[in-house]
Chains A and B, each alone.
Chain A
């Protein structure tokens, strides 16, 4: 315990001394943070300072092994670092799907040589990774994906298209599910490959959403040559990696690991709605709905805590990530719906004088995607009923 207390003190002192003030402000825009990549751009000098200090401290990915560029922290130490960063409001030094998505998959499925090659590059922010999963005809039924990789001896030739690839237009590399066996049943002919987006035949097109501009893109592969050493894991067994990453993604979307401070809905209500003589929100119906919503929001947070604590003792089911994804996204949708109600006609503004005008309506529209991306709510309910409740398929 003493060592951990010392670690906490040292961490706090170091963060306070080294995290620039502007890097302790809440993230409002995706480019308030550093994304790295071949064409890396620091949007402010402080971003650069913060990233370089953290890199030097080996805290960009503090919990990875040192040989892969991580900090080698124990889970306890990493928890403390996260807590202290949250306390100060420190932004992450690097936003990267390499850290949150690809890294865990490489650690579990890649060869040692691949780990030593790719992981340090992720830590150093040299490569901006994106994810190629869904396809125009393979949404909820992801395993029916059609992008084909034909064996050409020393390389694969890849043809097809991916959709919902976040930041594909900015990313350097893509980790991708492709079909390598066309005879096998749909789950068994899939492989997991890494593709350099600069390869000839790769192109992207941004997708505009009902909320306006988005990071999402379509990505097209037209006879793209990919060296065979870019295969991760076993040929035709990529579905295992896909499932692993989907579980991972669901937990992130469901809110686990989120450090953003949410404004309480009732505070927004008090600022926006008529108040009666008792100091209560005059609209009793809305007041009840807010109380009900905040009940679920607070208890959901407690549930994340409880299930995380249970997982540490070894009592956990991976399928619970479906519960988190389902409940967390539905809660956010309910939150946006309430915020719209609280702000009345002001919530309808789409564009006006300031950059932040239109935030409410756009966030509301964007939240509609929450129960679709990363597996729809219906898919999550299917998983819960089959894997947790043991209800049979017809």
Chain B
């Protein structure tokens, strides 16, 4: 199979690029921040829903488009270029994928229509500490009668304040289990933090929260396996956004090198900067390949999907950190002012590369996978 995107995927990418450039450019992100850290523009989200983006990865049998993760990745890459804010990551990449991976057909039939039309907005409640890991969780589910009761605290929940439902990762009888929990359930308390990307992330406490047995996402299937599959999607999707962030930060910097003059010449004529730029170009070429490979591996149900996902998140985390650092340095004084947009790329890159494991975490996981 060629390592290329198809004509249809390219069309989706181009449409997303055009739409986001017009409707959700960096200036829109700046405006949201300046208006008291608004999470996203609901009108923009409505338009994304109207374009079918919430149905993109939903299986056809539930009325979705079943367009695959290479397609979604193209959109996420474009959101990275413009730093467009929306619930695409939380609801489409994470929440919808959890539902898609579920073997609870009744739950899928019940929720997919709302997810697609936007009346339901999902997010994933996974993390509990400062560092990403998926081996052990404090959040406990206990079977009480026919239903379950949840106790625990989740952090870093994207759009936790605006989502209608949470996919909660918990431990049930020492096995990992995932539940779909209505935000309106009793016993839920939410507090929010603003991170350096001006995004809102919630800490959610579940205190004796009752969840219907019908809302258990993994019925017969192994919850740990399901979580692994969900993470391969999460890592690859976040890597797609990082690719967009890295490419745009790089392109803006190259543009700046061609415009800014010092000592009577444009600074892009200096070899000290040219070579650093050429190295970043090379690293970004590698980034494009692994992101596409990771996305394709998910769509093709490749046995190595998890390895490619780790590779993608590791490589992109490392490279986009390097690219955004260099972008600031090459912009010079203007680069460290809030007036310039390049700083937003640095800050968003820091958040995305840390979410769901930074480069060190994924390199460690790769070593474990390969047995060293």
Task: Please give the residue numbers on chain A whose beta carbons come within 8 Å of chain B beta carbons, in ascending order.
Answer: 264, 266, 269-270, 279-281, 287-288, 290-292, 294-296, 298-300, 302-303, 305-307, 309-310, 312-313, 320, 323, 326-327, 378, 380-382, 384-386, 388-394
State whether A299 touches B311 (Cβ < 8 A): yes
Cβ-closest chain B residue relative to A264: B370
- Chain A residues contacting B357 (CB-CB under 8 Å) are none
Type the 1/0 row for B267-301, where 1 means its CB is closer than 8 Å to any CB of A.
Answer: 01111011101110110011011101100000000
Cβ-closest chain B residue relative to A302: B289
State whether A299 touches B258 (Cβ < 8 A): no
Size bin of chain B's contact surface = 35 or more
Cβ-closest chain A residue relative to B369: A291
- Given A384-B282, A385-B274, A394-B269: A281 in contact with B372 (beta carbons within 8 A): yes
17 contacts between A and B (CB under 8 A): A264-B370, A280-B367, A291-B366, A291-B367, A299-B289, A302-B286, A302-B289, A302-B290, A302-B293, A309-B2, A327-B285, A384-B278, A388-B281, A389-B281, A391-B274, A392-B269, A394-B270
**Contacts beyond the supplied A266-B371, A390-B258: 13 A-B pairs with Cβ under 8 Å:** A264-B370, A279-B372, A280-B368, A287-B367, A302-B3, A307-B285, A323-B282, A384-B278, A385-B278, A389-B254, A389-B277, A391-B269, A391-B273
Quote the shortest CB–CB distance from B159 to chain A (angstroms).
31
Quote the shortest CB–CB distance from B248 to chain A (angstroms).
15
Which single member of B275, B318, B371 contacts A378 (CB below 8 Å)? Answer: B275
- Given A303-B289, A309-B2, A381-B275: A295 in contact with B315 (beta carbons within 8 A): yes
Report how far A385 CA is from B268 CA in the complex, Å. 9
- Chain A residues contacting B270 (CB-CB under 8 Å) are 394
Report how far A326 CA is from B366 CA in the complex, Å. 26
State whether A290 touches B274 (Cβ < 8 A): no
- Chain A residues contacting B271 (CB-CB under 8 Å) are 382
Report how far A213 CA is from B271 CA in the complex, Å. 36
Report how far A296 CA is from B366 CA in the complex, Å. 12
State whether B366 touches A391 (Cβ < 8 A): no
State whether B285 touches A323 (Cβ < 8 A): yes
Cβ-closest chain B residue relative to A265: B372
- Chain A residues contacting B281 (CB-CB under 8 Å) are 323, 384, 388-389
Task: Please give the residue numbers on chain B whose beta carbons come within 8 Å of chain A beta carbons, in ascending order.
Answer: 2-4, 254, 257-258, 265-266, 268-271, 273-275, 277-279, 281-282, 285-286, 288-290, 292-293, 311, 314-315, 318, 360, 363-364, 366-368, 370-372
Highest count of chain B CB atoms <10 Å: which of A313, A378, A382, A389: A389
- Chain A residues contacting B370 (CB-CB under 8 Å) are 264, 266, 294
Cβ-closest chain B residue relative to A310: B4
- Chain A residues contacting B279 (CB-CB under 8 Å) are 381
Report how far A392 CA is from B274 CA in the complex, Å. 9
State whether A291 touches B274 (Cβ < 8 A): no
Interface SS of chain B: helix
- Chain A residues contacting B288 (CB-CB under 8 Å) are 303, 306
Report how far A392 CA is from B255 CA in the complex, Å. 12
Report how far A184 CA is from B22 CA in the complex, Å. 52
State whether B367 touches A290 (Cβ < 8 A): yes
State whether B364 touches A385 (Cβ < 8 A): no
- Given A290-B367, A381-B274, A392-B266: A303 in contact with B372 (beta carbons within 8 A): no
State whether B364 touches A291 (Cβ < 8 A): yes
Interface SS of chain A: helix
Report how far A386 CA is from B279 CA in the complex, Å. 13
Report how far A296 CA is from B290 CA in the complex, Å. 10
- Given A290-B372, A291-B366, A391-B269: A299 in contact with B290 (beta carbons within 8 A): yes
Cβ-closest chain B residue relative to A312: B2
Report how far A310 CA is from B4 CA in the complex, Å. 7
- Chain B residues contacting A313 (CB-CB under 8 Å) are 4
- Given A291-B366, A295-B315, A309-B4: A391 in contact with B290 (beta carbons within 8 A): no
Report how far A389 CA is from B285 CA in the complex, Å. 13
Report how far A327 CA is from B370 CA in the complex, Å. 24
Quote the shortest CB–CB distance from A83 to chain B (angstroms).
14
State whether B258 touches A306 (Cβ < 8 A): no
- Chain A residues contacting B364 (CB-CB under 8 Å) are 288, 291
Cβ-closest chain A residue relative to B280: A389
- Chain B residues contacting A312 (CB-CB under 8 Å) are 2
Report how far A393 CA is from B282 CA in the complex, Å. 20
Which single member of B289, B367, B372 contacts A305 (CB below 8 Å)? Answer: B289
- Chain B residues contacting A264 (CB-CB under 8 Å) are 370
Q: Which 10 A-B pairs have the closest CB atoms?
A: A385-B274, A384-B278, A381-B278, A306-B3, A291-B363, A303-B289, A309-B2, A302-B289, A394-B269, A391-B268
Report how far A266 CA is from B368 CA in the complex, Å. 11
Quote the shortest CB–CB distance from A278 to chain B (angstroms).
9
Report how far A292 CA is from B268 CA in the complex, Å. 30
State whether A309 touches B269 (Cβ < 8 A): no
State whether A306 touches B371 (Cβ < 8 A): no
State whether B286 touches A382 (Cβ < 8 A): no
Quote the shortest CB–CB distance from B274 to chain A (angstroms).
4
State whether A389 touches B265 (Cβ < 8 A): no
- Chain A residues contacting B292 (CB-CB under 8 Å) are 306
Cβ-closest chain B residue relative to A301: B289
Which single member of B4, B274, B286, B367 contacts A296 (CB below 8 Å)? Answer: B286
Quote the shortest CB–CB distance from B24 to chain A (angstroms).
27
Cβ-closest chain B residue relative to A307: B285
State whether A298 touches B360 (Cβ < 8 A): no
- Chain A residues contacting B254 (CB-CB under 8 Å) are 389-391
Quote the shortest CB–CB distance from A307 to chain B (angstroms).
8
Report how far A136 CA is from B279 CA in the complex, Å. 29
State whether B315 touches A299 (Cβ < 8 A): yes
Highest count of chain B CB atoms <10 Å: which of A281, A287, A298, A307: A298
Report how far A327 CA is from B319 CA in the complex, Å. 14
Quote the shortest CB–CB distance from A373 to chain B (angstroms).
19
- Given A299-B311, A309-B4, A391-B268: A279 in contact with B371 (beta carbons within 8 A): yes
